[in-house]
């Protein structure tokens, strides 16, 4: 079902991967691909697929910014293989609207839209909303629903962003939500005295609640692909949109197979793989050597690292030119790709089993507590517990459930 790729290891890996549908690859094949080839070479193996895209017809992309800090757009500018300009070119994408990268702005003279769509983004936007269909809607940022369902906590061109978003979503082919503000409302929906008043919504989820996405509220049904992270990784975005454009993922038919419970591509957010599995500090963990103050080389578990609970390929893919990732740089992982981030992963500097974090599955805590207790018994026992994964054993490990790992039910 979920496994499009075959599992044999040896010769001709590169050739094999060329023919694979990478979005459907299982975790083990994927990790092997990255491990064997290195992250940037891994991307290059799809060059032949990418070349085909040039023969494809143009795909239109509309890119919206809601309630956010533009960090995901910045992360896209930090993408290197391909970079954002190459990305648009090689996949033959026509970026119709992107507030940070466009010449236009909203211009009104005595309240009426002035000039043409060459310089006026509001005229351009109205044309898109009225005429365009079948575009990919890239959604960055949450949708403000407050106060009182008016959406007026974010206005653009004199209208609530919520109204603009509703129109744009209706005519989209698919929605790619990038970054936790869009996928789960992220920091905007974090617990606070005012969050109910603000009422910021993610696209398909608000925090971990699938009944509170803005699409449900608007009564719009569209296929959604979530790429979480605060920010999200440019590879995740470019490769996912690329896979859709190339027909490597057929929308919506393939989505139930390639996405997890949180609507994220399993290839990047493997349900059965956590950052801890490939952490560069893993050797210290196996020897039971932990840091108690920041600044040293050892395992960051006791400083609150959420790597053992966080489902993403950060430790193999790395960030910013595939250079580094948080625990390697000395910081505990704060679980910024988790759907409940930041509430499900804070306090950041307290071991998760000591936090009593709301929304953390009790089974997970138990499983990890067992892992912690076993440390005294030595690395071998620890490894057996922690490394016990469904794929390795051909069964579902008891301490994990599909709910918190995002696996299939």
Partner 1 sequence: MVQVTVDPLTRIEGHYRVNTEVNGEGVITDAQSNGLQLRGFERLLQHQDPRDAALLAQRICGVCPICHSISAANALDQLFGVAGQVPKNALVMRNIEQGLNYIASHAAHIYVLWGPDLANPAYRDILAKYGDVGNAVWKELSGRFAPLIYQLNGTSYPAGSSYVGAIAEFRRLHEAIALIAGKMPHQVLQHVGGVVYSPTVADIGQIVGYVSKTMEFVEAFTLGVSPDTWVANTYKASSPQKAANFVLNHLKELLNKSLTSKDFSHSAGWGDVPLFAAFGSELIGEKLLGLPISMKMDLAGAYKDPNKIGFLSYGVFFKPEKGDGYDPTSPADSRVIPSGYMNGNFKLEKFDYKKISESTHHAFYIDNVEDRPPWNGITVPEEDPGKIDYTKGSASRYSWSKAPNYNGIPCEVGPLARMIIMGEPLVTGLVKTFQDNGYYPVNNYTRMVARMQEILVLYSELMKWLTQDLEAGGKVAVHTELSMAKSSAGMGLWEAPRGALGHWIATGPDSMVTLYQAVVPSTWNLAPRNSQDIPSPVEQALIGTKISAAGNALGVDYSNPLGILHTARSYDPCLACAVHTIDKTGKHPDYTIKIL
Site for partner 1 in 330-359 (CB under 8 A): 330-331, 334, 336, 342, 346-350
By CB under 8 A, tell whether 36 contacts partner 1: no
Element (H, E) at 138: strand 135-140
Q: Which residues, at least 6 apart from 48, have a Cβ–Cβ distance to it below 8 Å? A: 18
Site string for partner 1, 159-198 (x = CB under 8 A): --x-------------------------xx-xxxxxx-xx
Selection from 379, 386, 342, 385 nearest residue 360 by Cα: 342
Kindly tell me which of 6 and 105 has the beta carbon lying closer to partner 1: 105
Pick from 24, 11, 27, 75: nearest CA to 315: 27
Size of the site for partner 1 (CB under 8 A): 90
Give, in degrees to the nearest 5, the angle at Cα 399 between 395 and 400. 70
E strand spans, 221-324: 224-227
- Is 269 one of the binding residues for partner 1 (CB under 8 A)? no
Least distance between partner 1 and beta carbon 218 (Å): 17
Q: Cα(345)–Cα(338) distance, rounded to whole angstroms?
A: 8
Decide: is 73 part of the binding site for partner 1 (CB under 8 A): yes
Residue 267 or 333 having the CB closest to partner 1: 333
Q: How far is the CB of 145 from partner 1 (least distance, A)?
A: 11
**What whole-number distance in Å separates Cα of residue 130 and Cα of residue 139?**
19
Alpha-carbon span 400 to 54, nearest angstrom: 43
Phi, psi of 394 (to 5 degrees): 70, 25
Which one among 230, 246, 305, 382 touches partner 1, defined by CB under 8 A?
Answer: 230
Among 121, 184, 310, 338, binds partner 1 (CB under 8 A): 121
Q: How far is the CB of 206 from partner 1 (least distance, A)?
A: 14
Alpha-carbon distance of 53 to 394, in angstroms, equals 37
77 sits near partner 1 (criterion: CB under 8 A): yes
Which positions from 293 to 332 touch partner 1 by CB under 8 A, shown as an x/- string? xxx-----------------------xxx-xxxxxxxxx-
Task: Return the structure tokens found at 25.
Answer: 């690859």
Binding status of residue 379 toward partner 1 by CB under 8 A: no
CB of 45 to partner 1, least distance (A): 22
Segment contacting partner 1 by CB under 8 A, of 2-10, 217-225, 287-295, 387-395: 287-295
Residue 286 to residue 381: CA distance in whole angstroms? 10
Indicate which single residue of 14, 80, 375, 379 sits in contact with partner 1 (rule: CB under 8 A): 80
Cβ proximity to partner 1: between 122 and 399 the closer is 122
Distance in angstroms (rounded) separating the CA atoms of residues 224 and 173: 10
Phi then psi dihedrals of residue 175, to 5 deg: -115, 125
């Amino acid at each position: 079902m979920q496994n499009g790729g075959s599992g044999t290891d040896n010769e001709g890996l590169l050739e094999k991967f060329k023919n694979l549908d990478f979005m459907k690859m299982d975790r083990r094949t994927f990790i092997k691909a990255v491990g064997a080839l290195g992250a940037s070479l891994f991307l290059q193996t799809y060059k032949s697929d990418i070349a085909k895209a040039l023969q494809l017809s143009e795909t239109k992309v509309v890119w919206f910014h809601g309630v956010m800090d533009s960090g995901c757009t910045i992360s896209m500018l930090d993408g290197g293989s391909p970079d954002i300009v190459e990305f648009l070119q090689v996949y033959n994408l026509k970026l119709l609207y992107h507030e940070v990268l466009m010449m236009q702005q909203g211009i009104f003279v005595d309240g009426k839209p002035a000039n043409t769509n060459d310089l006026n983004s509001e005229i351009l936007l109205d044309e898109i909303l009225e005429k365009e269909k079948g575009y990919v809607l890239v959604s960055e940022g949450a949708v403000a629903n407050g106060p009182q369902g008016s959406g007026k906590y974010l206005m653009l061109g004199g209208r609530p962003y919520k109204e603009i978003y509703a129109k744009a979503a209706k005519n989209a082919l698919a929605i790619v939500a990038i970054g936790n503000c869009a996928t789960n409302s992220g920091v905007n929906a974090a617990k606070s005295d005012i969050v109910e008043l603000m009422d910021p919504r993610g696209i398909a989820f608000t925090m971990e609640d699938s009944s509170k996405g803005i699409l449900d509220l608007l009564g719009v049904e569209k296929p959604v692909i979530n790429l979480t992270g605060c920010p999200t990784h440019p590879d995740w975005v470019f490769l996912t949109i690329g896979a859709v454009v190339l027909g490597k993922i057929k929308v919506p038919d393939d989505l139930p197979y390639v996405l997890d419970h949180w609507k994220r591509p399993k290839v990047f957010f493997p349900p059965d793989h956590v950052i801890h599995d490939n952490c560069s500090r893993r050797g210290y963990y196996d020897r039971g050597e932990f840091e108690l103050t920041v600044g040293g080389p050892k395992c960051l578990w006791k400083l609150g690292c959420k790597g053992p609970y966080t489902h993403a390929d950060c430790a193999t893919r790395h960030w910013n030119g595939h250079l580094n990732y948080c625990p390697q740089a000395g910081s505990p992982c704060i679980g910024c790709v988790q759907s409940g981030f930041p509430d499900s992963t804070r306090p950041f500097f307290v071991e998760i089993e000591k936090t009593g974090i709301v929304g953390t599955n009790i089974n997970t805590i138990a499983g990890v507590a067992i892992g912690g207790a076993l440390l005294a018994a030595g690395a071998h026992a620890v490894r057996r517990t922690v490394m016990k994964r469904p794929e390795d054993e051909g069964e579902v490990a008891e301490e994990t459930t599909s709910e918190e790992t995002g696996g299939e039910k």
